[in-house]
Structure 1
Amino acid sequence: MSDSTPAVDETVTGSTSRPTLSNAAEPSTGGASPPAATPNWNERHQFSASGTQFLVDKQYTPVKSIGSGAYGIVCSAMDTVTQKKIAIKKISAAFDDLIDAKRILREIKLLSHFKHDNVIRLVDMVNPLTAAQFDDVYMVMECMETDLHKIIYSKNELTDEHCQYFIYQILRAMKYVHSSNVIHRDLKPSNLLLNGNCDLKVCDFGLARGTNDKDDYELTEYVVTRWYRAPEIMCACQDYDRKIDVWSIGCIFGEILGRKPLFPGDNYIHQLNLIFGTLGTPSDADLDWITNAKALQYIKNLKKKPSMPFERVYPKAPPQAIDLLSKMLVFNPANRISVEDALAHPYLKALHNPKDEPICPTTFDFEFEKQANTKVGIQKLMFEEIEKFRPGVVNPIL
């Protein structure tokens, strides 16, 4: 989400157990409960948010505009049936670009598949009443008050307890997501939503892919915001795996510690130089995984640089935080720590509980993407997702 309209007063307070964000709006509800009676899905009303017209069920009363998210405008609203606060994302002209439409469908299917405390939950979708209305897509989700980007760049102190709790929850979420054979591929602070209790939820799964999928849905170089890209992405290697998410978490970790981006590259070359300026130029043994000949030759021709210890980069960080960070930000993915091992690291000892770090009971199937090649094909699959929330509604394009 954008920074234009902060959802809460972002004053941060610490605690001896779990940290909180003071003066926040009501905490996340954990998802809307089923209504006591079947609502009338044909009753609509219209309102404006961020200059965009929303046409949704009467049971959703607008509260405030939150801003722009991936592909859409987001506002908070009150569900008058469940009396819970929710967020509504409107994606206008959702099917005009087939690549974007496929990403939107992918995210919706993934959010419907995932059921985890640290992954944002999709609680409803608004069914179109006419074919013209099916140009837009409305996603109804849990409402969170802010995101990690806003918290990092607020002027308030972030304690080590905050840092531990944020990193723990990201790892806990990714253990679950990865167990479903899904790689997020776009982890960054603005995709990590927070409420007043510092509960964290991962969002924006539009660029996700399967761990066993060798076909790229998008051009590799554009996946993941540059500052959080793993070396595997930078070196255009097709066989990257879930370790790319660990690298992104490491970059986020460093950004929390330093209150500024760790590797804010302006372009591909600058990004690699920033990485090597901290990690040092990799040895030949740490380059044997690179299959892209041009990338390999470029790195081998670079002037050798020594590493800069993370203790110097973050002199106030606890030793255990530095140790975990150094294990996440390893150039060679084979030597990078796994999510499971990161959860068990001593830095997170106070929070780690293997019995409360679930895996997904079923893997996610990306086979639907083979059918999503036309506007009508994507709309058909999208409507199937709407029917999961609203059984019996009529598809206006059939």
Structure 2
Amino acid sequence: MGFGSGPKTTHTGKCSTCLMKMISKVGFGDDLCADDSVLPLDVKHAWNKSTGGTVAFINQDETAEEDLQNNSTKFPSQAGAKHREHTSEMQCVHHKKLTTGTCKEVQSQILQQLDIEPDRPIGYGAFGVVWSVTDPRDGKRVALKKMPNVFQNLVSCKRVFRELKMLCFFKHDNVLSALDILQPPHIDYFEEIYVVTELMQSDLHKIIVSPQPLSSDHVKVFLYQILRGLKYLHSAGILHRDIKPGNLLVNSNCVLKICDFGLARVEELDESRHMTQEVVTQYYRAPEILMGSRHYSNAIDIWSVGCIFAELLGRRILFQAQSPIQQLDLITDLLGTPSLEAMRTACEGAKAHILRGPHKQPSLPVLYTLSSQATHEAVHLLCRMLVFDPSKRISAKDALAHPYLDEGRLRYHTCMCKCCFSTSTGRVYTSDFEPITNPKFDDTFEKNLSSVRQVKEIIHQFILEQQKGNRVPLCINPQSAAFKSFISSTVAQPSEMPPSPLVWE
């Protein structure tokens, strides 16, 4: 996997002033994309071609397609295992309301609604299952996220609706967003949601644990993209709350996207409002969460990025402990005993645990031993991220301005990004390398959600509103070879989930 896939660019006077300064500083110039020091990454595809039946296309004229979209609410797709035995009957019944033809003619009309055929699962999370599928409209491979058991309770409903709205809100190259949402069934059968997103070949966890060498340039361009995406999320007022290597998707050109917003929420500015501690995989959990803080900020995401940065450098988890207490002890082994001011939001039991132990001095120089790539600039930036006091932790915006990332920025915008483009006379660069969003993500809709039925109706209508346009809507194909496996696939089991946060006495 190399950087970019386009032709080598020639830099001219059209380059922005700041990028030209970076080019001059690092001395890459015209040979940037052909730099032999950047080894390609051998990313294994996470899917195989489908062994199921091929989806057949039936030619449709514009009128038929328009009628199909206008009547889409009456076409139930198969969203739940409990309905799959009655697929043909259900579809025929609802079509009979629209036509006077025979049942055989009705079944023929069913085929005119293009189906999407699941191939195989590629990921399991706490709140969803991801499959690789083929979009029959253009033949492209995409990812299909299945959100099962959506309407079990009000909390689950709100969380799914929040994630769904976020995926439709995001417009950033380093943040995964929704390309489409599958046609919902009639509301009486509406139990699951299916979201189509871009399919990425791998993730940062798989790359880190692989034997594939990672150059300093790889580390810089990965870290740059993580922070670039995080700056965008934080500008929208969103805390991701589960930044980890497995939630950082990577394609064959080293383009990275932040994914999995099942735990994401809008930042709570009122410090008197309690926030859940059931967030962030333990190895990447910030000390304020480990110590029972009832309120936290987007600084928890920066801590997670710091842990990942160290993991990219050393190819091993920085704080790998068996329990939250051991996790906290490993952190203080590196950073030293925190001050009372740094622990001001911690619960009393956590403070007592720290104060009972021996006073520890910082041992930050050990970070230089992570690898030969742990240069002074790298360790300096890492230390700005791994700060015990969240109020003193560097922000995504300030981290992006650190000189360590100059080369990562240059490489990304020279041959990887979509915001800059090449012309016959040279590369034209965007005026804003790290864009933010305005306005922020609005979560006020959650305040008026009071019942499962109400949320179900609102989500159903929201999905239908996303279907507007010229594209033919999609639904699950119950005739596909993988249908039974797809329907029965579930979210991660409790034993596969990260340990819960410690409850301090």
**TM, length-normalised to structure 1:** 0.83
What residue is the counterpart of 1:301 in the other structure?
Answer: 356
1:319 to 361, 376, 383: 376
Unaligned runs of 5+ in 2: 4-33, 47-60, 88-110, 411-430, 474-505
Q: SS in structure 1 opposite 2:225?
A: helix
1:220/1:299 Cα in 2 relative to 1: closer, same or farther (>3 Å)? farther
Q: SS in structure 1 opposite 2:308?
A: helix
Determine the C-alpha separation between the residues in 1 that align with 2:432 and 2:391: 27
Q: SS in structure 2 opposite 1:151?
A: helix
Q: SS in structure 2 opposite 1:352?
A: helix
Contact 1:59–1:81, Cα closer than 8 Å, also in 2: no
Determine the C-alpha separation between the residues in 2 that align with 1:285 and 1:210: 26
2:437 to 337, 353, 360: 360
Determine the C-alpha separation between the residues in 1 that align with 2:269 and 2:453: 25
Unaligned runs of 5+ in 1: 1-11, 27-35, 394-398
Contact 1:108–1:385, Cα closer than 8 Å, also in 2: no
Matches within 5 A, 1:282-297: 282-287=338-343, 289-297=344-352
What residue is the counterpart of 2:140 in the other structure?
Answer: 84
1:344 to partner: Cα distance: 0.8
Moved more, 270-279 or 73-82: 73-82
1:165 to partner: Cα distance: 1.0
Question: 2:401 aligned with 1:344, yes or no?
Answer: yes
1:323 to partner: Cα distance: 1.3
1:384 to partner: Cα distance: 3.5
1:176 to 211, 216, 232: 232
Determine the C-alpha separation between the residues in 2 that align with 1:112 and 1:267: 36
Contact 2:45–2:202, Cα closer than 8 Å, also in 1: no
Determine the C-alpha separation between the residues in 1 that align with 2:279 and 2:270: 15
Determine the C-alpha separation between the residues in 1 that align with 2:353 and 2:245: 30
1:223 to 267, 279, 282: 279
Determine the C-alpha separation between the residues in 2 that align with 1:45 and 1:375: 21
1:381 to partner: Cα distance: 2.8
Determine the C-alpha separation between the residues in 2 that align with 1:113 and 1:45: 25
What residue is the counterpart of 1:272 in the other structure?
Answer: 328
Determine the C-alpha separation between the residues in 2 that align with 1:205 and 1:47: 22
Identity of aligned residues (%): 39
What do you get for the CA RMSD once the two structures are aligned?
3.2
- In terms of Rg, which structure is larger? 2
What whole-Å deviation, never above 9, does each CA across 1:59-102 have from its counterpart, x for those lacking one?
Answer: 42444432323422221122222333211112222212433332
1:262 to partner: Cα distance: 1.0
Contact 2:303–2:385, Cα closer than 8 Å, also in 1: yes
Q: SS in structure 1 opposite 2:261?
A: coil
Determine the C-alpha separation between the residues in 1 that align with 2:273 and 2:257: 25
What residue is the counterpart of 2:41 in the other structure?
Answer: 21
User: Greater strand percent: which structure?
Assistant: 1
Higher relative contact order (CA 8 A, sep 6+): 2
Equivalent position amino acid for 2:390 in 1: P
1:377/1:213 Cα in 2 relative to 1: closer, same or farther (>3 Å)? farther
1:117 to 153, 173, 189: 173
1:286/1:47 Cα in 2 relative to 1: closer, same or farther (>3 Å)? closer
1:388/1:24 Cα in 2 relative to 1: closer, same or farther (>3 Å)? farther
1:103 to partner: Cα distance: 1.9
Contact 1:120–1:141, Cα closer than 8 Å, also in 2: yes
Question: 2:176 aligned with 1:99, yes or no?
Answer: no
1:268/1:102 Cα in 2 relative to 1: closer, same or farther (>3 Å)? same
Q: SS in structure 2 opposite 1:379?
A: helix
1:245 to partner: Cα distance: 0.8
1:294 to partner: Cα distance: 2.7
1:301/1:271 Cα in 2 relative to 1: closer, same or farther (>3 Å)? same
1:134 to partner: Cα distance: 0.6
1:115 to partner: Cα distance: 0.5
What whole-Å deviation, never above 9, does each CA across 1:229-263 have from its counterpart, x for those lacking one?
Answer: 11121222233211111101001111111222111
1:361 to partner: Cα distance: 1.8
Equivalent position amino acid for 1:202 in 2: I
Equivalent position amino acid for 1:21 in 2: L
Matches within 5 A, 1:121-132: 121-132=177-188
User: Greater helix percent: which structure?
Assistant: 2
2:306 to 232, 250, 256: 250
Q: SS in structure 1 opposite 2:328?
A: helix
Question: 2:127 aligned with 1:71, yes or no?
Answer: yes
Equivalent position amino acid for 2:208 in 1: I
1:140 to partner: Cα distance: 1.1
Q: SS in structure 1 opposite 2:288?
A: helix
Contact 1:66–1:75, Cα closer than 8 Å, also in 2: yes
Determine the C-alpha separation between the residues in 1 that align with 2:451 and 2:39: 47
1:197 to partner: Cα distance: 0.6
Contact 2:342–2:388, Cα closer than 8 Å, also in 1: yes
What whole-Å deviation, never above 9, does each CA across 1:333-359 have from its counterpart, x for those lacking one?
Answer: 122111111101111012337722100
Q: SS in structure 2 opposite 1:250?
A: helix
Q: SS in structure 1 opposite 2:277?
A: helix
Q: Report the count of equivalent residues.
A: 369
1:285 to partner: Cα distance: 4.5
Q: SS in structure 1 opposite 2:362?
A: coil
What residue is the counterpart of 2:12 in the other structure?
Answer: none
Q: SS in structure 2 opposite 1:21?
A: coil
